[in-house]
Structure 1
Amino acid sequence: MIQQSIPLLSPAVGTHRELAVFRFGPAHSEQKIYIQASLHADETPAMLTAVLLKRRLLELEVQQALAAQIVLVPLANPIGLSQHVLGQFVGRFELNSGKNFNRHFLPFNAVIERAKETLGADPLENRRIVRQLMHDELERRTPANEFESLQHELLKLSFDADLVIDLHCSQEAAMHLYTNETGWPEFEPLARYLGARASLLANDSGGQSFDEAHSFFWWQLQQALPAGKPVRTGTFAITVECRGQRDVSYEVAQHDADALIDYLVWRGALRGERKALPDLLMPATPLAGSEQLHAPVSGILVHRVEVGAAVRAGEPLFDIVDPLTDATTTVVSRNDGVLYMRRAVRFVTAGAPLGRVTGTQATRTGMLLSA
């Protein structure tokens, strides 16, 4: 293992933060895997999974079982890790700007235009050229502040990876995944090993999140090129939501770390015997088909269904109780699907988001992610 520290742009005199990076396996392998955790810094289950994954990778490296280069960033957001307001952890948004740490990553649009002029007829050689163009684009960029330098350094670490796995969690949730249609065949085995209750597919969710900075770019590039200039997909990327923020235990994190190891063996990134694939608990569904539930009134929120449960259209999911009038408003599902996440609050204002249910028919357009 090689440990590396990457300094971020200092926001003020006397302050300094850095990214810790752990590299395993042969540096010049034909396959590169990039895994990071807790880009939203308050999503601790992902962080613990990364810790246990690192321990296992150390053991496997000693056993010479690594067939790929694996880059692990167990704590992808040292900025957010230090943000606390009146005792509350604020790791999703940068307090200085209000920006979401996992939105609006650098788009490689300029690379697409250069590729149209540069590429030839060999899809593998074209992939190599595109990665060089991406490298050059990142080298041309100069971050203006600490937030931009964080996103910039994460892209520099990951742009040339064959596989990108971004570990997150929600507030209260079942294990679920986000990837695109192209990536789903690559990641269906991971969904099986993890026991995902929902796998949500979108080429473009509208938020320029970290996974889509990779996967959507390659999809866009392939759509933009003429038939005579084919290019192999350079990076398959996925966001893994490791349940909810309070699901921090050795047992749960060990399950997820073991599932990642099993998947890397299945891919051939680790040497060993493939474990039999478990059943796929739920088929993949379009992210645009997921139902976003909101509170029609204010009041005490009572959950009627546990996260991860299969629900039917018309089934009650939440009650909202007015503490003054005793009136109860029930929110029901419009979809047959799975309640895969919900908010952690127990008192809501009118219009507040409550949770989400998967759906098989695309009904939404535009921004498909939350803030």
Structure 2
Amino acid sequence: MQKRQTEAISLMASSPGTRREIVVHRYGQAGTGPKAYLQTGLHADELPGAVVVQHLLALLDEAAAAGRITGEILVVPQANPIGLSQYLFGRHAGRFDFDSLGNFNRHYPGLAQAIGDLVGERLTDDAAGNVDLIRACARRLLEARTPKSEIEHLRLSLMRLAVDADIALDLHCDDVAVMHLYLGNDLWPGAADLSAELQARAVLLADVSGGEPFDEAVGGLWWQLARRFPDCPIPPACLSATVELRGDLDVADNLAAKDAAALFRFLQRRGLIAGNPGPLPPAACEGTPLDGTDMIEAPVGGILLFHVKAGDRVSAGDTVAEVLDPVTGARIPLVARTGGVVFARAGHPLARPGLPVVKVAGAVPLAYRSGQLLTQ
């Protein structure tokens, strides 16, 4: 009989008399099979994942009691105790750190350059050996770092847990949205089983999305090193993904149980849990380039009147929303510049200049999309 092991990682105190911790649940044994890492709550005001994880933990407990865990699985049910505590003027604000004003899902340490400098001459034509070498180096580099603040300690702690994983899933949500994923180009179509299990309506692909988010810090080092050393086989050894669990109001047991079951079956397919997951559902979408995503922004302030719902398909030239000036009554139409699925839209009807209003996953890169491809 296997059992869940739970530990708490204490973070550097931001001020005297305060201390926060990251709780980690572990299943299986390190080195006995593939390693999967799942976390949620990095944007602490995004709550669907917290319910999904509790349903998933129940499934994992049952599998562990039956001796069916065949790999190593780490689950962090609340990855950001700092943001969870940030409540100001009657509102929860868990996306940006009050101290640094930085996004909690940005500025994770990039390791590829340092790893390449250290192991480049030791890489061989053995792909598995290269993976082991790179992972060991990544662990040493992270262990050698000393954080200077609580937020740095948080980022470093999460990286240390995930950097040597075969699978790293960061569970988030958008404002009003359908299920969608963010992945590196090299991970597609290899991650099509994850997309199909979750019935994602959009899979957004990029090597660099901008801002050093968690999933790219963990997974991106593999394709960066592969491009630096093209004569040595370096596979994309970590399926790192940001999983957007619909919208921030989609907090319900029925949805969470469905998503947890899908993640459990995915882990079965990837060899971490014994048992038959059954047939893979048909895919609900294809992968599309992140720079083909039309981020339709409000040009002025006003009140948003939507013409589309999350999940609708639109064509280039379609009006997706209007901005109403409540003083003059004037309306400004917002028009899609590409065809595709509306995978997300703003959750509040108050428009501000530059606010992303509607996001459309298009199949063709757009000329105006470059640099910072993610919203802040």
Which range, TM-score by smaller chain? over 0.9
Residue pair 1:266, 1:275 contacting (<8 A) in 2 also = no
- Report the secondary structure of 1:280's partner residue: coil
**Cα offset for 1:185?**
2.5
Task: Confirm or deny that 1:298 pairs with 2:301.
Answer: yes
- How far apart are the structure 1 equivalents of 2:115 and 2:224? 11
Which residue in the other structure is 1:15 paired with?
A: 18
Task: Confirm or deny that 1:332 pairs with 2:335.
Answer: yes
Which residue in the other structure is 2:375 paired with?
A: 370
Which residue in the other structure is 1:111 paired with?
A: 115
1:54-133 matches, cutoff 5 A: 54-108=57-111, 109-133=113-137
Report the more deviating stretch, 247-256 or 176-185. Answer: 176-185
Residue pair 2:187, 2:236 contacting (<8 A) in 1 also = no
**Deviation digits for residues 208-253 of structure 1, max 9, x if unmatched?**
11110022111011111151x3233331201100011110000111
Which residue in the other structure is 1:218 paired with?
A: 222
Residue pair 2:34, 2:271 contacting (<8 A) in 1 also = no
- Of the three residues 330, 341, 345, the one matched with 1:342 is 345
Counterpart of 1:151, as a letter, is R
- How far apart are the structure 1 equivalents of 2:192 and 2:97? 33
Residue pair 1:127, 1:233 contacting (<8 A) in 2 also = no
- Of the three residues 176, 179, 197, the one matched with 1:175 is 179
Which residue in the other structure is 1:45 paired with?
A: 48
Which residue in the other structure is 1:199 paired with?
A: 203
**Cα offset for 1:27?**
3.0
1:152-163 matches, cutoff 5 A: 152-163=156-167
TM-score, length-normalised on structure 1?
0.97
Residue pair 1:37, 1:168 contacting (<8 A) in 2 also = yes
**Cα offset for 1:87?**
1.1
- How far apart are the structure 2 equivalents of 1:76 and 1:186? 27
**Cα offset for 1:123?**
1.7
- Report the secondary structure of 1:182's partner residue: helix
5+ long unaligned stretches in structure 1: none
1:350-365 matches, cutoff 5 A: 350-363=353-366, 364-365=369-370
Report the more deviating stretch, 39-48 or 325-334. Answer: 325-334
Counterpart of 1:182, as a letter, is D
Counterpart of 2:17, as a letter, is G
Which residue in the other structure is 1:148 paired with?
A: 152
- How far apart are the structure 1 equivalents of 2:116 and 2:91? 42
1:158-307 matches, cutoff 5 A: 158-227=162-231, 229-307=232-310
- Report the secondary structure of 1:255's partner residue: helix
Residue pair 1:214, 1:236 contacting (<8 A) in 2 also = no
**Deviation digits for residues 81-113 of structure 1, max 9, x if unmatched?**
000111111111100110111101001021111
**Cα offset for 1:143?**
0.3
**Deviation digits for residues 173-194 of structure 1, max 9, x if unmatched?**
1110000121123321111111
- Report the secondary structure of 2:258's partner residue: helix
Note closer, same or farther for the CA distance 1:173–1:140 as it changes in structure 2 (3 Å cut): same
Report the more deviating stretch, 245-254 or 267-276. Answer: 267-276
How many corresponding residue pairs? 370
- How far apart are the structure 2 equivalents of 1:185 and 1:312? 25
Structure 1 vs Structure 2: percent identity of aligned residues?
39
5+ long unaligned stretches in structure 2: none
Counterpart of 1:144, as a letter, is K
Residue pair 2:223, 2:235 contacting (<8 A) in 1 also = no
Residue pair 1:170, 1:245 contacting (<8 A) in 2 also = yes
TM-score, length-normalised on structure 2?
0.96
Counterpart of 2:374, as a letter, is L
- How far apart are the structure 2 equivalents of 1:187 and 1:345? 32
- How far apart are the structure 2 equivalents of 1:117 and 1:88? 53
Counterpart of 1:159, as a letter, is V
Report the more deviating stretch, 271-280 or 212-221. Answer: 271-280
Root mean square deviation of aligned Cα: 1.2
